[in-house]
Structure 1
Amino acid sequence: MGVRLRILIGLFAGLILAGCSADYGTDQHGQKVPAASIDGQWLVINYWADWCAPCRTEIPELNRLAKEGKGKGYRVLGVNFDGLRDADLGKSAQTMGIDFTVLADDPAQRYELPRSEALPVTYIIDPEGKVREQLLGEQTAAGLTARLSALREEKR
């Protein structure tokens, strides 16, 4: 095999592997969350717990933001602070009225998110996977939309 052919094969394999990042595990319904459905978008990642009163107030705002975000280049994801999984996660998310995707596997390591002991906490991640904001306390759809717009404008 010639040197050029080996280089081309190596480049092609590298491009394929670069586009294949690890999936995000499962959601509150037990469905696989493929990386292709999340990577390359702005992310709003919210940590919540069913015992957190401000989280309960914030969920309808996040549902609104998630609905508005469809097709606009950003996605809302939830993570249960207590690490609930499987049926427990599904039941808790349903009780909380969460309409957006809740990840069973915490993406903190993937994005190098600092552990917060305060709830709720929301992180805004850019399409390259860089943490752009850490927001403590209850958020509104309007406030998060404004922050996303400002951060997207900075990026241009």
Structure 2
Amino acid sequence: MGTRLQVVVRTLMGICAGLILAGCAEDVGVDQYGRKVPAERLEGQWLVINYWAEWCAPCRSEIPELNALAVQLEARSVRVLGVNFDGLSGTQLSTASDAMGIDYTVLAQDPAARYGLPANAVLPVTYIVDDQGQMRERLLGEQTAAGLAARVQVLRNGG
């Protein structure tokens, strides 16, 4: 009887340890409003990561397309993320993203190192990252929701 109890206790301790560790998963940082962006919220999803700046005219016209894409693809495990090219953070980032009309998550910390994104000096630039966290494509210039949705679909199908 004592051995069975030990097995049950060890099993419960293992489950509890797993739950505790799962709760300690690394955050990707915070969004434009200072809310934590947990890594598990993005894991296993395709990501469309767009770099933008207030002074970039094509970025301004591209943002409504990205807003539409975020809504269109949310149910298909695709997340649209923004990153401010100028490295704004805090109140400056929330003010700029609100002024630009961005409805999707804007990361305050650049995720380039996390996803192996190359440095870029041209805007706008959009990266497509697969559900394994690997960059699959870099798209320079202004994008449309239809074009990005089609590209993600081709890549998901092995293209």
Smaller-chain TM-score range? 0.7 to 0.9
Deviation for aligned residue 1:35: 1.0
Q: 1:83-98 maps to which residues of 2 (within 5 A)?
A: 83-98=87-102
Which residue of 46, 53, 57 maps to 1:49?
A: 53
- Unpaired stretches in structure 2, ≥5 consecutive residues: 1-6
Question: What is the aligned residue count?
Answer: 147
Give the secondary-structure state (helix, strand or coil) at the position aligned to 1:36: helix
Q: Which amino acid aligns with 1:26?
A: V
TM-score (norm 2): 0.85
Deviation for aligned residue 1:119: 0.2
Between the two proteins, what is the percent identity of the paired residues?
62
State whether structure 2 residue 82 is matched by structure 1 residue 78.
yes
Q: Which residue is 2:73 aligned to?
A: 69
Separation in 2 of the partners of 1:20 and 1:151? 32
Could you report, residue by residue, the CA deviation over 1:10-43 in whole angstroms, capped at 9, with x for unpaired residues? x9879x8699652111101111111111111000
Which residue of 98, 103, 116 maps to 2:107?
A: 103
Deviation for aligned residue 1:153: 0.6
State whether structure 2 residue 143 is matched by structure 1 residue 136.
no
Query: Which of the two has higher C-alpha Rg?
Result: 2
Runs of 4+ in 1 over 3 A off after TM superposition: 11-14, 16-21
Would the alpha carbon gap of residues 48 and 39 (structure 1) be closer, same or farther in structure 2, given more than 3 Å must change?
Answer: same
Q: Which amino acid aligns with 1:89?
A: L
Q: 1:142-153 maps to which residues of 2 (within 5 A)?
A: 142-153=146-157
Would the alpha carbon gap of residues 88 and 126 (structure 1) be closer, same or farther in structure 2, given more than 3 Å must change?
Answer: same
CA-based RMSD of the aligned residues comes to 2.2
Structure with greater strand share of residues: 2
Q: Which residue is 1:22 aligned to?
A: 26
Greater displacement, 20-29 / 71-80: 20-29
Residue 25 of structure 2 contacts residue 38 of structure 2 at CA under 8 Å; is this kept in 1? no
